[in-house]
Each structure stands twice: as C-alpha cells, then as structure tokens.
Amino acid sequence: MVNTNNLKKGIVLKLDGVLFEVVDHEHYKPGKGGAFVRATLRNLDTDNILEKRLPAGEKVEDVFIDKRVMQYLYSEGENCIFMDTENYEQTPISKKVLGDRFWYLKEGFEVIVRFYEEQIIDIELPSHVVLEVTSAPQGVRGDTVGTVMKTIELETGLEIQAPLFVNTGDKVKISTKNAQYVERA
C-alpha cells in the first residue's frame, strides 16, 4: 500500500481490480474542503488515459512489476516472439498487447517487458528508434514554400510524414511517442 501523497511517476496501482500506471500527479489543497491528489493514470489493459481524484493521505494498492530485458526475434501470425536475454527462453507476446508499438520493432531490437504475476502487461520502448526508409516518393522542386512533408514507408511497414529530402535507403530517427520524424540518422 502506498499513500496518495507519495505517488511517483511510473508506479503501478491496482484500483478496482484494474492496473494503472501513474503518468502524472499533483497535490491540491483548496481553501475549502479537504486536500486531494489529482492523478493522471494510464490503464495498462486498454492504454487509455484517465484523470482520477484521490483523497490526500488515503492508501492505495501498489503492485510489484517485474521488468526483464527481452530481444525481439520475429513475428509469427498474431504473436511476436521475444527472447529473454538472461535465460534465452522464448516468449510469444500478442500483437494486441503490443498495439501500435509493434511498428517500431525490428529483429534484434531490445525492449523492457513488464510482468505482473508472470503475465505480460506491457513493453517499454526507447523514446526514439532508427529505421531504414524502404519507400519514399521523389519530392517536386517547386513544393518548397513552408515545411513540405511527404509520406514515407519504413522497414517495419510503418508510414510517417518526413521532409522532402528523405530518400529510399536513408536511415531516419523517429519518436516512438507520436510516430514523428526527428532527424536523419
């Protein structure tokens, strides 16, 4: 159990039988009424963001999350196969659990997999990844007023917007938070 006054980013709470990760929190003490903590929580099952108002000083259930470094090996049907880097055990993870994070994975890529009671609940990606451009249409020279973007396809099949100067075969750095082009790698 953890006191709501001691919440920190990244702590995983169990509220009404559902696991939530604390994304942000703020302590409020209004002039009238009792103090409270406004917490921004991410549902680990659905990935939805929720704002919850918790009374200050109340105890909430925090849970222990086991983290393991695993390497992405390959995709097989509706599963992605990962290998534990410590014991070399292979584990399938459903593409439903991965969600949109699947598009940032390439063979040999290492991620942190989070477990709760030996069940996989989430994976953590780095903030940026470097991927190769497999398809990029040529930009038209006259289209240079302002910031002009074009749709490119990356080696994982992900399509993003990138500047005109990006060509097929280039390696680009992209953000895993919002699938945006950052720079050439």
Same fold, 2-62 and 128-184: no
> What pLDDT, in 10s, does the model give residues 42-63?
988 887 899 999 888 889 998 9
Report domain 2-62's class.
mainly beta
What contacts 136, CB < 8 A, 6 or more positions away?
150, 152, 153, 162, 166, 167, 168, 170
User: What Å distances lie between residue 116 and 12, 61, 65, 121, CA to CA?
Assistant: 10, 14, 5, 7
Mean pLDDT of 64-71: 92
Q: How confident is the model at residue 140 (pLDDT cuts 50, 70, 90)?
A: low
Strand-by-strand arrangement of the 49-55 sheet: 2-3, 59-62, 12-15, 18-28, 36-43, 49-55
User: What Å distances lie between residue 140 and 127, 146, 151, 168, 169, CA to CA?
Assistant: 32, 14, 13, 15, 19
Q: How confident is the model at residue 144 (pLDDT cuts 50, 70, 90)?
A: low
Select the more confidently predicted residue: 99 or 175. Answer: 175
Using the 8-state DSSP alphabet, how is residue 139 labeled?
P
Predicted pLDDT at 141: 64
Domain boundaries of the chain, sorted by first residue: 2-62, 66-124, 128-184
The CATH number of 128-184 is 2.40.50.140
| Residue 126 reports pLDDT greater than 80 | yes
Predicted pLDDT at 159: 93
CATH architecture of 66-124: Beta Barrel (2.40)
pTM value surpassing 0.85: no
